Chains A and B, each alone.
Chain A
């Protein structure tokens, strides 16, 4: 049996390689973590702590003299939230808004993108103009539309009057008030979907469309049988992104309708905001926020699962 002689202080080649390998691995690990650490710290402070704080106060009484969680009250705040008809009403209002606004915005966004997808000289300028509603602050947008739709001073009723419609009481009629909120939100967010859809359309493989053209497919067949199936994963992803934005919406309502008339446009986030910062019922509103967070996570999970299935399908 061959014996390797090792002189004092010398490191055998294999062991040396192993040690230097471990060293390299350790150095690599340290380097990786050192790059990750700032993000982890920022995320923990900015994201995890506020969520932890919200959950903590949702199970406690809120001590206004220290502005922190007081005595542990178990599920009392959740029972209070669930027992409040206003919370359920605001969830229903939010559901109505989401069910109408999201499909409308996605359909309009992709539709407009498809229509302006043709090569023409003003396309870039038009796309730049589409950004404007997105960068207007929601409160400004709400206030501006409030002036446009005002039954006394607004121009909308004047224009509608020219074609024999109205006058409409945009903020006095519950259905019209919800229509106004959806209209303002659609005005703000459809351009965002147009931008995503335009980029997606430009990225589609041209040869497939050329093949369809050679096969004699008309405009509708090309849209229905070629473009749409290719776009389904993008549409699904856009829906999820927009859903996550829309579910948080309350600023437009706050600026345009104040949740009225009555409680017709009082979306759940507006209700939570009012309970927390107007009524100073931080513990109860934290419980409501946690319930909404859980519902949002479940529905988001469902949508993500659905979009993955759609991707597999197409």
Chain B
């Protein structure tokens, strides 16, 4: 079997090639265009960035030094904030008369909320366009991730750390069950036909010790994304063209039923499982499939400190095909520039560098972020194991764009998602029928979005 292990030397050479290129191509035009705004050796400029603490520290130690090789006179400090407090802190800072932060790194559904309060600059608008590098290729972004930074016809942010909801599978457990491993063409019907065989008793003690699937079932805002992916794959959508809820129907009910049926083949206690628990179960090799965010591929299949599995054992693909198409769900971290920044040149230089072809490649190889650009995904990745991952990611972007597989785009998106979290959790726990919970969610969301 082919090994996905890559020598660190080859990876280093690859990164150096990219960095050398970035010195020559990316730096010169921007440096010449706005030398003052980008500081001088005697008078450096300083920008502050607010980001999720999950990756802020890594960016500060790994990416900022790379950025400073191109822009040595821009000092960048990245403050990490825990995810649950991040949006509220961004909004508080943005609405103060003198905000502390120049760049805001926000989650997928937050751009409309930040844009509505005037926190972000239009990156294609008259203030930013003149200082945009002519080589900055907007058309090279995949449509789905780029759309996450857009609202009301304006581009408020660009993707800097992309993610998609994907299905991981354990080849060893499939082989043990005597089932052919899944392909992107696998349907939900085929999945459920295989599922009973994937609940296995390997040690023969009469009780199962491995299960078919684990994913989000717990009461939290990301759990409805599983149901939403199934809904979209069945041709349904959260809202209709007029922006009214359109999921309290047969498609919605069938989709929630599929989500609920997964519990029959999940480990004991799965109703309380979310991101961490399902990841833990999959890494320990006790579940054959896991639906979660693609970015965990490395700690799930590569990093020896965090997993018992290897890249040869872990497959990755989009979610099974519904009545119309395969499923996935978008989760993109975007960087936008504060509308009140006093360091526009430096702030945009950082965001531009990070989302440029070169910066994105550096971010992917050193920061472990998934790219959003078609060219980055089509190019030779920095490691062999990234090849199938990038292929799946490109497929997921296409599927997401086709089925509009993302959360509600509205300044009230989080309120709607919380309502879905409450109601989907009630449905999964059997505290109300699927029809009841979807109707309640529909009525409440209609009221919230009004």
Question: Which A residues are within 8 Å of any B CB, using their own CB?
Answer: 64-67, 85-86, 150-153, 167, 169-172, 174, 177, 257-264, 266, 274-275, 277-281
Known: A65-B117, A275-B418. A261 touches B219 (CB 8 A): yes
Contact indicator A169/B418 (Cβ below 8 Å): no
Determine how close the nearest CB of chain B comes to the CB of A143; give it in whole angstroms: 10
| Distance of A177 Cα from B218 Cα, bound (Å) | 12
- Can you list 25 A-B contacts with CB-CB less than 8 angstroms, sorted by A residue number? A64-B113, A65-B95, A65-B118, A85-B440, A152-B286, A153-B280, A167-B268, A170-B272, A172-B268, A172-B270, A259-B425, A260-B218, A261-B271, A262-B425, A262-B428, A262-B430, A263-B422, A264-B429, A264-B431, A266-B219, A277-B84, A277-B85, A278-B414, A279-B415, A281-B415
In the complex, chain B residues whose CB is within 8 Å of the CB of A280: 87-88, 91, 113, 414-415
Given A261-B425, A262-B429, answer yes or no on A170-B269 (Cβ-Cβ < 8 Å).
yes
Q: From DSSP, what is the main secondary structure of chain B's interface residues? A: helix
Contact A278 B84 (CB under 8 A): yes
B281 close to A152 (CB less than 8 A):
yes
Docked pose: A171 CA to B116 CA in angstroms: 39
Contact of B272 among A65, A260, A281 (CB under 8 A): A260
CA–CA, A177 and B269, complex, Å: 11
B268–A67 touching, CB < 8 Å: no
Q: Which residues of B contact A262 (CB under 8 A)?
A: 219, 425-426, 428-431
Contacts of B267 in A (CB 8 A): 151-152
Once the chains are docked, how many angstroms separate the CA of A85 from the CA of B221? 19
Q: With the chains together, A67 CA to B218 CA distance in Å?
A: 31
* Complex Cα–Cα for A172 and B91 (A): 36
5 new A-B contacts at CB < 8 Å, known A172-B270, A172-B271, A281-B415: A66-B95, A258-B272, A261-B428, A278-B418, A279-B415
Q: How many A-B residue pairs have CB under 8 A?
A: 106
- The answer to whether B85 and A67 have CB atoms under 8 Å apart is no
Interface core residue of A263, A280, A281 (most chain B CB under 10 Å)? A280
For the complex, is B274 an interface residue (Cβ under 8 Å from A)? yes
- Please measure, in the bound complex, the distance between the C-alpha atom of A150 and the C-alpha atom of B270, giving whole angstroms: 10
Whether B180 sits at the interface, judged by CB under 8 Å, is no
Measured CA separation A18–B241 after assembly (Å) = 85
Name the residue of chain B whose CB is nearest to the CB of A171. B272
Of A169, A170, A259, A275, the residue contacting B219 (CB under 8 A) is: A259
| B220 lies within 8 A of chain A by Cβ | yes
**How far is it, in angstroms, between the C-alpha of A151 and the C-alpha of B270 when the chains are bound?**
9
Q: In the assembled complex, how far is the CB of residue B211 from the closest CB belonging to chain A, in whole angstroms?
A: 10
Known: A169-B269, A174-B429, A258-B274. A278 touches B117 (CB 8 A): no
Bound-state Cα–Cα, A47 to B173, Å: 58
Question: With a CB–CB cut-off of 8 A, which chain B residues contact A172?
Answer: 268-272, 429
8 Å CB interface, B88-117 against A? 88, 91-92, 95, 113, 116-117
CB contacts under 8 Å to A, within B271-289, are 271-272, 274, 277, 280-281, 286
Least CB distance, B395 to chain A, in whole angstroms: 31
CB-CB under 8 A from A258, the residues of chain B are 218-220, 272, 274
Q: How far is the CB of B23 from chain A (nearest CB, A)?
A: 41
- Give the distance in Å from the alpha carbon of A275 to the alpha carbon of B426 in the complex: 17
Q: Which residue of A lies closest to B280 (CB)?
A: A153
Q: Which residues of B contact A278 (CB under 8 A)?
A: 84, 221, 414, 418
Q: Which residue of A lies closest to B416 (CB)?
A: A279
Chain A min CB distance to B54 (Å): 17
* Chain B residues whose CB sits within 8 angstroms of the CB of A170 once the complex forms: 269, 272
- Distance in angstroms from A244 CB to nearest chain B CB is 26
Known: A277-B84, A281-B415. Is A263-B219 also a contact (CB below 8 A)? yes
Are A86 and B118 neighbours in the complex by a CB distance under 8 Å? no
Across the two chains, which residue of chain B brings its CB closest to A80?
B447
> In chain A, what residue has the closest Cβ to B267?
A152
Which one, A151, A260, A274, contacts B418 given CB within 8 A?
A274
Q: How far is the CA of A34 from the CA of B10 in the complex (A)?
A: 73
Q: How far is the CA of A172 from the CA of B92 in the complex (A)?
A: 37
Nearest CB in chain A to that of B84: its residue: A277
Known contacts A67-B92, A259-B219, A266-B219; is-contact A279 B429 (Cβ 8 Å): no
Residue of chain B at shortest CB distance from A259: B219
Residue of A nearest to B418 (CB): A279
CB-CB nearest in chain B for A282: B88
Residue pair A64, B84 in contact (C-beta under 8 Å): no
- What 10 A-B pairs have minimum CB-CB distances, sorted nearest first? A171-B272, A262-B429, A151-B269, A279-B415, A260-B219, A172-B271, A262-B431, A261-B429, A65-B117, A151-B268
